[in-house]
């Protein structure tokens, strides 16, 4: 498997990914949009690959519109990466189906490991986005599908094969 998603032929099974997870660079064009605005646009992402999970794309902070994000009070802990902090959209871009931009907020659309455990130091300060909490996330123009379950943030593209953790009945996997 290469380090550039565009160079990989065929498909990847999440059951071939390692545990503990592996980090690999990915130079494909990743874009995260909400309310018609690019929140992130990068060709310098890191993918975290873990058994039974679709890849999580971590985007360098320099490629993210941090001026549009707000830290939230939500925290979580990963046994491999450490403590995660979360970010939501402020009212300037928040939009629900029945509401106009500028009203309300969208909590916890992204997370970051500001001080990950040593093995995962490369992702420090990068942000990952929940694909189902924003308008669209794309990888080289392909719209990704969100990992089910609401907790995990993997991105499913046509090259990725499951079954994936997060579907009903998979909590104990």
The enclosing domain of 113 has a CATH number of 2.170.150.40
114 pLDDT above the threshold of 90: yes
Q: How many CA atoms lie within 13 A of 150 on its CB side?
A: 2
For residue 10, give both structure tokens. Answer: 């065929």
d(CA 137, CA 82): 25
Tell me the residue range of the domain where 101 lies. Answer: 12-154
User: How many whole angstroms separate alpha carbon 90 and alpha carbon 103?
Assistant: 9
Please check whether residue 173 is in contact with residue 52, taking contact to mean a CB–CB distance below 8 angstroms. Answer: yes
92 located within any domain = yes
In a domain, 3, yes or no: no
| 157's tokens | 């593209």
Residue 67 lies inside a defined structural domain of this protein: yes
Note the pTM of the prediction, 2 decimals.
0.86
Of 55-59, 67-71, 94-98, the poorest mean pLDDT is in 94-98
pLDDT recorded at residue 93 = 66
142: in domain: yes
Predicted confidence (pLDDT) per residue in 39-53, tens digit? 999 999 999 999 999
In a domain, 164, yes or no: no
Among residues 85, 80, 89, the alpha carbon closest in space to that of 122 is found at: 80
Domain count, the chain: 1
Note whether residue 163 is domain-resident: no
Q: What is the mean pLDDT of the chain?
A: 87
pLDDT value at 98 more than 70:
no
% of the chain surpassing 70 pLDDT = 86
Q: Does a structural domain hold residue 77?
A: yes
Mean predicted confidence (pLDDT) in 80-99: 75
107 part of a folded domain: yes
């Amino acid at each position: 498997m290469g380090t550039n998603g565009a160079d990989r032929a065929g498909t990847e099974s999440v059951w071939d990914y390692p545990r503990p997870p592996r980090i690999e660079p990915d130079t494909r064009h990743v874009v995260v949009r909400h309310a018609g605005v690019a929140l992130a646009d990068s060709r310098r992402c890191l993918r975290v690959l873990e058994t039974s999970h679709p890849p999580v794309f971590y985007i360098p902070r320099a490629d993210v519109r941090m001026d549009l994000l707000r830290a939230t009070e939500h925290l979580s802990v990963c046994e491999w990466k450490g403590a995660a902090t979360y970010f939501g959209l402020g009212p300037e871009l928040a939009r629900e189906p029945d509401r106009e931009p500028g009203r309300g907020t969208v909590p916890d659309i992204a997370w970051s490991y500001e001080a990950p455990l040593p093995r995962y130091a490369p992702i420090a300060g990068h942000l990952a986005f929940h694909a189902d909490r924003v308008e669209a996330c794309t990888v080289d123009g392909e719209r990704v599908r969100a990992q089910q379950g609401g907790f995990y943030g993997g991105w499913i593209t046509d090259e990725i094969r499951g079954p994936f953790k997060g579907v009903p009945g998979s909590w104990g996997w």
